[in-house]
Amino acid sequence: MMILAQISDVARLAGVSSATVSRVINGTARVSEEKVKRVLEAIEATGFKPNEIARSLYKKSSKIIGYIVPSILNVFLTEIGRAIEDEAFQNGYKMILCNSDENPKKEVAYINMLTAMNADGIIITANNDNLDEEIRNCPLPVVALDKDAGSRYTAVVQSDNYSGGRLATEHLIECGCRHIVLMRGPQKYSSGSQRFLGYVDACNEHGIQPLFMESQYSADVRESSRELLKRFPHVDGILALSDMTAMSLYKVLFEQGRKVPDDIMIVGYDGIELSSLMTPALTTVVQPIEEIGRLAAKLIIDQVANGKISSRENVLPVSLQMGQTTRIPG
């Protein structure tokens, strides 16, 4: 069985006190160059691994960023997490992923855990509206994704959801669609409400009646897709809530013998990597996933380095990626 070296072993080999070893590791006081050299050589010789949590108690920083998500099954949020982790690691930080399952108790528990660990900040995409007090009282910087800023968050990062709703609708109109149904996201979230406003404004400007059906941020929307087709039998264009919901919708259309894009056209939302792998390739509104994740991490890292947030409200542009689920006439 391997025996891990202790700080006392390093001190004994270097011929200094344990307190001196601790000062060298944590940089909490000035130590002579000669002693620093001996301590570092002893650390290498013994293979001593400083306890990161213990170090954080000295430095008031654990070099950890927490990422709280409602579901790790949400591919969009997982891809954002990949960008957060990459940016964090490049700057000497680690990311801890916390899956809440949209459970308020779990979200509060994770916030408390990250606070106790002296994490440097939290990036949160939780959809629970009852976290206001916990967020407001949290001593750590909290960066929210897809939220309105309000007073409780240190900063927010989101894409231009209003423009995304308009962009998708105008594209379907350009493709010749006149009965366009929006799979509308929960209106208590800014992403859902802003996309809906963009959709409605584009429809009104072109003399088209807005049609929508309530939906949730879930990958499996087969049941609601079937209900949509019953409620709107003349639909010729559908704006899906996400790329994953668009794929679920396509499965239902295929089962019912509806041809895409000949009978019904589909526009997804997010621009996840999977959207280009389905057949036919999905036309989708692309959110700058990499930029969203990296910026969220940078905001926390900058806060630690400079003592202030560099930009509180951050809205990033979206774009349309043309696939094979829509077709412009001619």
pLDDT score for 129: 65
**Alpha helices, DSSP H, located in the chain:** 7-14, 18-26, 33-46, 52-59, 75-90, 104-116, 132-137, 161-174, 190-205, 222-231, 243-255, 289-306
pLDDT of 176: 97
* Residue-by-residue pLDDT tens, the chain, 330 positions: 445 678 888 888 889 888 887 777 766 567 788 888 888 888 878 877 665 555 554 456 689 999 999 999 999 999 999 999 999 999 999 999 999 988 888 999 999 899 888 899 999 986 666 677 788 888 899 999 977 666 678 899 999 999 999 999 999 999 999 999 999 987 777 888 999 999 999 999 999 999 999 887 777 789 999 999 999 999 999 999 999 999 999 999 999 999 999 999 999 999 999 888 888 999 999 999 999 999 999 999 999 888 888 888 999 999 999 999 999 997
* Inter-CA distances, 46 with 9, 12, 103, 181, Å: 8, 11, 44, 66
pLDDT at 40: 82
What DSSP line would sit under 22-81, residue for residue?
Answer: HHHHHT-S---HHHHHHHHHHHHHHT----HHHHHHHHT--SEEEEEES-TT-HHHHHHH
Nearest one of 238, 201, 83, 198 to 145, comparing CA atoms: 83
- Residue 101: partners with Cβ closer than 8 Å, 6 or more residues away: 70, 71
**How many Cβ atoms are within 10 Å of 282's Cβ, its own excluded?**
29
d(CA 117, CA 110): 10
Single-letter amino acid, residue 172: L
Q: Could you give all domains of the chain from N- to C-terminal order, each with its CATH number?
A: 7-50 (1.10.260.40), 64-159+289-316 (3.40.50.2300), 161-288 (3.40.50.2300)
Residue-level pLDDT at 138:
87
Helix or strand (DSSP H, E) at 151? none
Separation CA 54–CA 255 (nearest Å): 58
**Per-residue pLDDT, 60:** 60
Is the omega angle on the peptide bond into residue 261 within 30 degrees of 0, that is, cis?
yes
pLDDT at 328: 93
Reported pTM: 0.82
